[in-house]
Amino acid sequence: MGRKEVFMGKAKFGIFGDGKELPQIAMAKAFRRGDIRSGYYRDQTFMFALGELTLEQFFAQLYAHTDVDAEPASAGRLMNGHFATRALDDKGQWKDLLHLNYAISDVSPTAGQIPRIIGLGYASKLYRQNPQLHGQNQFSNKGNEVVFGTIGNAATSEGMFLEAVNAMGVLQIPVVMAIWDDDYGISVPKEYHTTKGDISKILQGYQRTETEEGLELFKVKGWDYVALCKIFREAANISRKLHVPSLVHVTELTQQQGHSTSGSQERYKSVERLQWEQEHDCLLKFKEWLLEEDFASATELEAIELESRATAKAAKNAAWKAFNASMKPDFDSAMAILDKAILQSSHKNVLSDLKKELETTLNPLRSDMAKCIIKALRHLRNERISIKKEAVAWIKKIDTDNYDRYSSHLYSASSFSALKVKAIKARYKSDQKLVDGRQVLQACFDAALSRDPSIIAFGEDVGLIGDVNRAFAGLQVKYGELRVTDTGIRECTIIGQGIGAAMRGLRPIAEIQYLDYLVYALATLTDDLATLQYRTRGGQKAPLIIRTRGHRLEGMWHAGSPISMILGSMRGIYLLVPRNMTQAAGFYNTLLQSDDTALIIECLNGYRLKEKIPDNIGEFTVPLGVPEVIREGTDVTVVTYGSMCRIVMDAAQQLQEVGISVEVIDVQTLLPFDISNSILASVKKTNRVLFADEDTPGGGSAYMMQQVIEKQGAYAYLDAEPVTLSSRDHRPAYGSDGDYFTKPNAECVFDKVYNLMSESDPIAFPDLYR
């Protein structure tokens, strides 16, 4: 029925769980309330069986119904087959997760659902092993919750999957990882995907033994109901009781109607294979078994089938009716405007044609209505008639409504939004002495860990030595290995560990050792974390803090500042770029009070620079989106952030010596960027502006320029061209000279600013190099 809806043009795309029903029913029997699912687009039967998806909701998603009550998984934002449970209430606060069947919102990229499984399972481990968390009964019953993962056979070739299997074994977390094996990945058979064509066979080395920890591996045929029930129950029991991860390889599954509504499987499956699939359809085999065992008669089963068909059809019709009804008010008001316009305007014919076009559009959408009214307004441009006002109001309303429909909830909309955290200034004792910057962070983390047992920190070298720059030094000893922990070198699943833990009520600080290695985790950051609140329209959140360090120190893969990569791919995650460790500590304090997710990039070359520890180290906060003027001036505004602040401040001092007064602004956070347009005030004063950072040309500096010149409207106040300063096109070469001649330095800043002055007053500021 779903396929038909697509072919009839009522839906755009369809992907379904046919051929994989039976193991999902068996898996649902092992699933208990409070357990978690992290799966993919084939899991419709599992969701039905859990009672977390109604037939009507299933069709509503196919039609892209934007009403969250009709389509609770994504409110029309995700294509069908992307399931989710709403884990947050209307105010964005956690529901009682223990009483949910908690399906994490699916993503389309194959294996994209896997990294977060590490954190979802890790949370159970912490809730069980850390007695301080035993009171947290909104999130866990002492870690008894099992994570049920699902993945297709072909997707097990992805690095994410293989990385995660290893991490599960290392961490010993309660995960039941099911693989739906239908021998294909779209058109490509298993020989191309998997060594020996058999994923459970090649994973045998992970099998636990009496003396070694590992995974429990199971293999079962997807049409054998009794075996499926037994194995899923056994796997869940082992995971729940012992926190041993297990992997259930479900073979001999089929794909009855092909991969999706795009393309037909007759093109790539042989006649024999298609025949085999028909004979091994798990529903057919199930039916045979029911008859054989005399659990039901043929007539009874036929009656069930007939009834099911009728139920599904009724649900489909109801969903379609509701979808169309949701369009009706906008359609009717658009029609009313067109009617009035026809009456009032002298362009009656063309307006009538427009109306007719909309009237005769099959299943008109809001975009059809918007196009029509916008075009109508163009025809009315030379007329002074009252309907124009109504038409403009209609467009404004539909814009506002559609912003809400399609653009809300990119960040937290709850009262815990990072933007709502109260700013508290750092306070200092009069005799506060200077310490290494890393000690400021250490004091901040110490205060945080002692304040809240749900705060945890992990990453490569974070545990025993307290991170490579020692901001967690001594904190593992003080708070234990469950709170401050080393991980393997596996950036993608470190982020997954953070996402999953955050989705279960913990407050993880996940560390990526150097900013350059964020690339290894980028897919999970951009596809999963960044989109989570948005793709569920505020139904789920993962308040994860990602800590990393970068911008500048030494070497091609340790000094990077790939800001445009982050800006371009991680909207939905705030991006904080503190210039020193005190500002960084203030950001950690802000974020730990909020339910947003953010990336904090500390200055790699700042850990040994001297700073004072604020007296209120655990309480002071630095607000997001509020730039700071770190040097006042009157001639040129320089907008920068992070490690560049010190370089620009140095240049500003040198410029002062030749009579140029520079105002230096540290933007502090790139996402959000200067919420109250404060940089504009500076440009209004100086009328000249330079945007400087360490990213490549056209990257972070161009972004800041667009924000200030275009968005804040600084263009109107400029007396000189706006300029940017960035690194060279390539990564920084090794050594001090490699750095100096790749990254912007004080001399570059000096020249850029000087040239701006020289442009307006060449006599006072003659060309330096002629």
Interface with ligand TPP (CB under 6 A), residue from 184, 206, 607, 620 = 184
Residue 182 binds ligand TPP, judged by CB under 6 A: yes
**Partner that binds at residue 110, options Mg ion, ligand TPP, none, CB closer than 5 to 8 Å by kind:** ligand TPP
Selected range binding ligand TPP among 151-159, 318-326, 503-511, 744-752, rule: CB under 6 A: 151-159
Query: Which string of x and - marks every residue 242-281 that binds ligand TPP (by CB under 6 A)?
Result: -----------------x----------------------
Interaction of residue 109 with ligand TPP, rule CB under 6 A: yes
> Among all residues, whose Cβ is closest to Mg ion?
152
- Per this entry, what is the length of the chain? 770
Contact with Mg ion (CB under 5 A): which of 43, 158, 163, 182? Answer: 182
Residue type, 503: M
Residue type, 355: K
CB closer to Mg ion, 252 vs 339: 252
CA 297, CA 306: separation in Å to the nearest integer? 14
Task: Give the x/- contact pattern for ligand TPP in 408-437, rule: CB under 6 A.
Answer: ------------------------------
Of 182-190, 477-485, 507-515, 533-541: span binding ligand TPP (CB under 6 A) = 182-190
Q: Sign of the C-alpha dihedral, residues 516, 517, 520, 525?
A: negative
Number of helices (H), then strands (E), in the chain: 26, 22
Q: How far is the CB of 256 from Mg ion (least distance, A)?
A: 13
Give the nearest distance from C-beta 739 to ligand TPP in angstroms.
36
Nearer to ligand TPP, 26 or 338 (CB): 26
User: How is the chain split among helix, strand and coil, in percent rounded to 5?
Assistant: 45, 10, 40
Which listed option, Mg ion, ligand TPP, none, makes contact with residue 364 (CB within 5 to 8 Å by class)?
A: none
CB of 154 to Mg ion, least distance (A): 5
- Decide if 389 contacts 514 (C-beta within 8 A): no
Structure tokens at 378: 């163009």
Task: Tell whether residue 153 is a contact of Mg ion (CB under 5 A).
Answer: yes
* Nearest to Mg ion of 181, 516 (CB atom): 181
Residue 19 as a binder of ligand TPP (CB under 6 A): the answer is no
Helices 159-171, 491-502: crossing angle, 10 deg rounding:
70
Nearer to Mg ion, 184 or 225 (CB): 184
The DSSP code for 518 is G
Give φ, ψ of 510 to 5 degrees.
-95, 130
Can you tell me which of 72, 81, 152, 586 binds Mg ion, judged by CB under 5 A?
Answer: 152
Stretch that binds ligand TPP, among 139-147, 183-191, 311-319, 698-706 (CB under 6 A): 183-191
Q: Which residues pair with 177 in a beta bridge?
A: 149, 247
Q: Which does 155 bind (CB under 5 to 8 A by kind): ligand TPP, Mg ion, none?
A: ligand TPP
The residue whose two tokens read 């559009």 is: 361
DSSP element (H, E) containing 319: helix 298-344
Phi and psi (nearest 5°) for 494?
Answer: -65, -45
Nearer CB in complex with ligand TPP: 199/456? 199
| CB of residue 192 to ligand TPP, shortest distance in Å | 11
Q: Of these, 150, 153, 251, 531, which contacts ligand TPP (CB under 6 A)?
A: 153
Phi, psi of 698 (to 5 degrees): 80, 5
**Residue nearest to ligand TPP according to CB distances in the complex:** 152
What distance in Å separates the CA atoms of residue 104 and residue 150, rounded to the nearest whole number?
A: 12
DSSP code per residue over 210-269: SSS--BEEEEEETT-HHHHHHHHHHHHHHHHHH---EEEEEES---TT-SSSSS-GGGTS
**C-alpha separations of 285 from 42, 43, 150, 219, 298 in Å:** 19, 19, 22, 18, 14
Q: Which two tokens stand for residue 709?
A: 């010149």
Is residue 158 near Mg ion by the rule CB under 5 A?
no
The site partner of 78 among ligand TPP, Mg ion, none (C-beta below 5 to 8 Å per kind) is none
Residues 328-387 within binding reach of Mg ion (CB under 5 A): none
Shortest distance, position 152 Cβ to Mg ion, whole Å? 4
Going by the DSSP 8-state scheme, the letter that residue 17 receives in this structure is: -
Question: What's the min distance (Å) between Cβ of 132 and Mg ion?
Answer: 43
CA distance 329 to 331: 5
Which residues are 509's β-sheet partners? 457, 545
Rule CB under 5 A: which of 279-338 touch Mg ion?
Answer: none
254 touching Mg ion, by CB under 5 A: no
Q: Tell me which residue of 60, 109, 67, 107 sits closest to 83, measured CA to CA.
A: 107
180 binds ligand TPP (CB under 6 A): yes
CA–CA distance from 214 to each of 173, 209, 244, 498, 647 (Å)? 10, 7, 7, 22, 51
DSSP single-letter state for residue 15: -
| Site membership for ligand TPP, residue 110 (CB under 6 A) | yes
- 42 touches, from ligand TPP, Mg ion, none (C-beta below 5 to 8 Å by class): ligand TPP
Give me the phi and psi of 21, to 5 degrees please: -75, -45
Are 74 and 535 contacting, i.e. CB atoms less than 8 angstroms apart? yes
In the three-class reduction of DSSP (H, G, I as helix; E, B as strand; rest coil), residue 123 is classed as helix
Using the rule CB under 6 A, is 54 a contact of ligand TPP? no
Q: Cβ distance 692 to 749 under 8 Å?
A: yes
185 part of the interface to ligand TPP, by CB under 6 A:
yes
Stretch that binds Mg ion, among 67-75, 174-182, 505-513, 646-654 (CB under 5 A): 174-182
Shortest distance in whole angstroms from residue 178 CB to ligand TPP: 11
Q: Does 625 bind Mg ion (CB under 5 A)?
A: no
Q: Which of 152, 498, 614, 623 binds ligand TPP (CB under 6 A)?
A: 152
**Interacting residues toward Mg ion by CB under 5 A:** 152-154, 182, 184
**Interacting residues toward ligand TPP by CB under 6 A:** 42, 108-110, 152-155, 180, 182, 184-186, 259
